[in-house]
Amino acid sequence: MRIPVVVLTLILASVILAVAVPKLTGQAQMRERMAHLGVSTGLTRMIGGLEIAAVVGLLLGLLWTPIGVAAAVGLTLLMIGAAVYHARAKDPVPVTVVPVVFAVAAGALAVLHVVNG
């Protein structure tokens, strides 16, 4: 049962890394998106840093389960927060559901880590 943990970890890590880098580098399009949500530049960079920390934790979790569980739980909470911001900004439902899907995936990863020990 280790294969689902590895696959889900790699998928989550790659997707989260892809959205974290533009936040950290201050890419114009990302700044506009985050401003639309009411998120300041400083908070955007902090979120990007938390996402990078989640990626590192997810990958290290392949070597030590407790780090993987902690990273997956943290990522779940971060994605729930993202969904709340999208809902508050009255974004279309598909846009709001995307972070919910990733929150569920991260939560499932935490459970898989615990079950597989």
Residue 71 binned pLDDT confidence (cut-offs 50, 70, 90): very high
8 A C-beta contact, residue 23 and residue 51: yes
> pTM to 2 decimals?
0.93
CA-based nearest residue to 19, from 87, 98, 74, 90: 98
8 A C-beta contact, residue 51 and residue 59: no
Q: So what's the pLDDT on residue 43? A: 95
* Digit-coded pLDDT (tens) for 5-64: 999 999 999 999 999 999 999 999 999 999 999 999 999 999 999 999 999 999 999 999
Residues 6 or more apart from 95 whose CB is under 8 A from it? 86
Q: How far apart are CA 49 and CA 21, in angstroms?
A: 9
8 A C-beta contact, residue 13 and residue 58: yes
Query: What are the two backbone dihedrals, phi and then psi, of residue 92, each rounded to the nearest 5 degrees?
Result: -60, 150
